[in-house]
Amino acid sequence: MSAVPSLAEFEEAARGLERVISHTPTLPSRALSDILGAPVVLKMENLQRTGSFKIRGAAYRLSQLTAEERARGVVAASAGNHAQGVALAAQALGIPATIFMPLGVPVPKLLATRGYGAEVVLEGETVATSLRLAADFAERTGAVMIHPFDHRDIVIGQGTLGLELIEDAPDVDTILVGIGGGGLIAGVATAVKAMAAKAGRTVRVIGVQAENAAAMAPSLEAGHPVEIETHPTIADGILVSKPGAVPFEIIKDLVDEIVTVTDDDIARAILILLEQAKVVVEPAGAVGVAAILAGKITATGKTMAVLSGGNIDPLLLQRVVSHGLAASGRYLTIRIPLPDRPGQLARVSELVSQAGANVMEVMHTRHGQGLQISEVILQMSIETRGAEHTELTLDTLRHAGYDPSVVPD
């Protein structure tokens, strides 16, 4: 059997998954089209069952198990989306499921996984640790390990999304897909390029990684999957230190380009998707849009960004929105030393108002290092319309004789 799945295998998998998954919408984005300078469409896989594309691979993998394997049960490890996909698929097939999840996993993902009937074991600081623990459990108990990305059946299941991408946008030129372990982009690239070749055309597939967990570029340079040291990122769904061996063999031949984005880029992407597209997307699901906003994508035609998941903790969403506003230059905190005289606070507030900015929060103190006995510090959080408006507001204060400094986020 070839390591690279055939188009017929994707089509057969899609037929088998019809009752399990939804055909998610593909919608245009005028705001992102204006930014990129080419038509941009969004594949709303954040609206998929369980809130992400992971149900595709999990359901197909479990459907291929023998009766004897199903009786032994399955085990998986995940930060949340794969866990939910395995749990739901196992529940539908009557298969006992044990899921290892790292400590600190977002609460909605934890509760959803338990809600689908899986036994959840919280242990380990990272997904890599949870994977090792799950592998140990499989060896001890005989349960079948359902890897989140490093299996041919997983790649085939995820690749059914590629069929939908071409069906929804047959004239698409570029597809942006997030990369963690590589299962999704390997499946999508294989299916998309097979369909495009059948139609006598080409499609670019670009992978997007979080800057703090970007193992794919060094792996491609080395010619094999390499493990890197990762750093914390809000995109926990793609926080993977080493690509899967199975998807890597496909990615090295079929993925056209790999780019990285920062957490600031991702926060801005989540914010613009909330404001402009009216959709909630988790950080890992927003990296394609982040790449557009960060100027990492060169427009060559219609571009599709896959919004691969929407499972975000509301508390994280609150922090991300605040961070996104700051990263977009629309929310900042400034510190201004003032003479300790009546009316200064009112004067500064009036100047901010004249500049068209909005005061959100104020702290006024006489205590602080470097203050003269006749000075106070005013710390003020303000909302603006963007970077240019922020600079106008600061200039208004400077021209009035004040010395505002921006407090780092």
CATH number at residue 111: 3.40.50.1100
pLDDT at 320 over 90: no
Are the C-beta atoms of residues 86 and 97 closer than 8 Å to each other? Answer: yes
Can you name the residues that pair with 98 across neighbouring β-strands?
Answer: 75, 119
Using the 3D structure, point to which of 289, 310, 326 is the last residue of a domain: 326
Rounded-to-integer distance, Cα 343 and Cα 271, Å = 37
Same domain, 220 and 313: yes
Same domain, 60 and 16: no
Q: What torsion do the CA atoms of 225, 228, 234, 238 make, to the nearest 10 degrees?
A: 10
Rounded-to-integer distance, Cα 162 and Cα 40, Å = 17
Using the 3D structure, point to which of 123, 145, 167 is the last residue of a domain: 145
Is 1 a member of any domain?
no
Same domain, 76 and 159: no
Same domain, 44 and 156: yes
DSSP class of 18: T
Min mean pLDDT across 30-34, 88-92, 122-126 is at 122-126
The share of the chain scoring above pLDDT 70, in percent, equals 97
Same domain, 15 and 83: no
Average per-residue pLDDT in the chain? 92
Length of the chain: 409
Token code pair at residue 97: 């499921």
Is 2 a member of any domain?
no
Rounded-to-integer distance, Cα 190 and Cα 244, Å = 16
Rounded-to-integer distance, Cα 10 and Cα 152, Å = 11
Are the C-beta atoms of residues 334 and 355 closer than 8 Å to each other? Answer: no
Same domain, 176 and 80: no
Residue 165 CA to chain centroid, in angstroms?
Answer: 18
Average pLDDT of span 386-403 = 91
Overall domain count for the chain: 3
pLDDT at 368 over 80: no
Average pLDDT of span 2-6 = 85
Which residue do the tokens 């204006």 mark? 34
Same domain, 27 and 168: yes
Is 193 a member of any domain?
yes
Average pLDDT of span 342-350 = 89
Range of the structural domain that residue 298 is part of: 7-53+152-326
Using the 3D structure, point to which of 326, 344, 361 is the last residue of a domain: 326
CATH number at residue 343: 3.30.70.260
Same domain, 170 and 24: yes
Same domain, 104 and 32: no
Is 391 a member of any domain?
yes
Rounded-to-integer distance, Cα 40 and Cα 300, Å = 11
Rounded-to-integer distance, Cα 196 and Cα 360, Å = 51
Same domain, 195 and 219: yes
pLDDT at 10 over 60: yes
Dihedral (CA of 153, 154, 155, 161) sign = positive
What pLDDT score does 360 carry?
A: 85
Same domain, 206 and 284: yes
Which pTM value belongs to this model? 0.86
Same domain, 349 and 209: no
